[in-house]
A and B are shown apart, each in its own frame.
Chain A
Amino acid sequence: MFTLKTLKFSFALISAVFLSLFNSQAQTVRLGQAISESQLSNFDLVAGPDGSGFPAGSGTAKAGKAVFDSKCAACHAATGEGVSGNTILVGGDIHSEGNPLRTVGSYWPHASTVFDFIRRAMPANAPKSLSGKEVYQVTAYVLFLNDIIDEETVLNKESLMEIQMPNKDGFIDLSHLH
């Protein structure tokens, strides 16, 4: 017959065996397939303000106008004045009375975000249909419409990093709180 003591011991032993089985099983589930960053070059489209993730190529606002006219102006209007709230790309003053109009020019802190968003999400009816060169061109055009660069400025991976957005100091990063 089992005494209480042996019962306890058996339980402890079974628990230990079970736990070790479970742990070893958990540790052996490693099913990710190795892949290299070069194999991800067409897949990873994230481009950040640190300059990472930008493709080769370049473009000017002058060249971007034609692309914008044919692929963007239907929603954003010819010079970015937009057709409704979220399609307005230009104007606004963060210090204006009432609720300020927040646009690329008046609000966005990083030029990289303009490139990154256009590249992955625009045009809304055919996202990711622009070539890398076209994304540089349209980004340049949107920045030009906001008087941030001039028409001839060649936008590429390096020059994009040097652009100072008007509201770049307008944000307080609270990520340290979390």
Chain B
Amino acid sequence: MSDELDRVAGKGLINRRHLLKVGLGGIGTALTTNAFGADAGLKLQIPQWSQRPGPGTSNYGSPSPFTGHLQRSAGTPNPIYPGGGASRSPLQHLQGTITPNSLHFERHHSGVPAIDPAQHKLVINGLVDQPLVFSYEDLLKYPMVSKIYFLECSGNSGTLYGKTPTDGSAQSIHGLVSGAEWTGIPLSTLLDEAGVKTEAKWIAAVGADGASMGRSVPLAKALDDVMVALYQNGEPIRPEQGYPMRLFVPGWEGNISVKWLTQLKLTQEASHFRDETSKYTDTMTDRRSLQFTFPMGTKSLITSPSGQMLLPHKGVYKVTGIAWSGAGSIRRVEVSADGGRSWADAMIESHQSEKALARFSIPWQWDGGDGILQSRATDSAGNIQPSRDTLLAERGLISFYHYHGIQSWGINTAGEIKNVYT
């Protein structure tokens, strides 16, 4: 059977079109049975649930009890950092490019504030002709735009700067990235209303959380594609994503998309907040630190099969993953099964929107041997995702943020998959 497969790269990668031709079953998950075989003893019966009515409608939907393993990793509370921390999206269990709101990653610096939208204010002040205050109700009346974007914490995948590879999953290593449709008011609309003075070059964006988390946004970016987001995937933004409103800064490190947005202060210089000096800065090998390294790099990873999964048997698997870039859209994703010696083009299954997740896949026949699965993204600006070695040569080992090197998933003869370095 394997002789008939159109092999396109080493260790079992099959032409990305092959799936379409053979109609490979179990396309949603990698770890399914061999679709090329058939069980002669199988005789299908009408299941129980087809023999009685089920429960009726509900006012608020819930996921199937069989998908209870789709959970964020919330971690344990830290008494000296009340409300602080992060939860990660279960990337290995998700498909498509939109992260369900309940599973979108979180990062809080002082917990989730319980904001009453009727009392929440958005202030624009500083270097403006007329300082303004907006109510939530009034903001809902503005014309809005809806855009699909990724959001990634700049600390995502940071553990891969470490000297030894963490034994982790796609979720634990890379789960600080999610995708959603964000709906809101272009920031330029509100800035026009206040009238930006010519000397203004930055905007201090401040949240209404306990930490009053603040970040400085360059005015040029603010006028380009930044929005005051009010809806996420069609519903009002969830409290942990900034209800009732957040700044959304497409393609840039997640921290700058300030949640629970309550103030936009036009300034001449950056405000040099804690989270753009002490944190979210990148120390190079010469011990100088890069500041305002905003865009997220060109990146991809295979989400299935991935770390801590097990290949139950030899056979054909669907390799799938996500790719994104802060510099544009995803043009190409290549996959290797032999640790980067040979590469094959994966199929892009999704839209290829600017600064949004793209979904890729390619069939792969595992012959029971060892191998290393990798993916490599190219974006519309021509940026190619670097290898870990190339990234470290550029950034050193002291840096922590903006890791976007190629992820290597090692497979041993037992079918166990582990995060490895090549």
Contact = CB atoms under 8 A, between A and B. Distances in A.
Given A32-B132, A34-B131, A172-B289, A107 B272 contact: no
B268 A121 contact: no
Nearest to B138: A31
B194 A32 contact: yes
Q: How large is the interface on B (under 10, 10 to 19, 20 to 34, 35 or more residues)?
A: 35 or more
Contacts of B288: 170-172
Interface residues of A, number: 53
Nearest to B206: A46
A112 B194 CA distance: 27
B80 A113 contact: no
Contacts of A87: 80
A contacts with B: majority SS:
loop
A104 B272 CA distance: 14
A174 B291 contact: yes
A112 B270 CA distance: 12
A108 B291 CA distance: 12
Given A48-B267, A102-B278, A174 B290 contact: yes
A177 to B, nearest CB: 8
A50 B269 contact: yes
Contacts of B267: 46, 48, 50, 52
A162 interface: no
B134 interface: yes
Nearest to A76: B80
Interface string B150-182: 000000000000000000000000000000000
Nearest to B276: A113
Interface of A: 25-26, 29-37, 40, 43-46, 48-50, 52, 74-75, 83-84, 86-87, 94-95, 99-100, 102, 104, 107-110, 112-113, 116-117, 120-121, 124-125, 127-128, 170-175, 178
Q: Which 10 A-B pairs have the closest CB atoms?
A: A32-B132, A31-B138, A120-B212, A175-B292, A117-B274, A121-B211, A48-B271, A75-B80, A127-B210, A171-B291
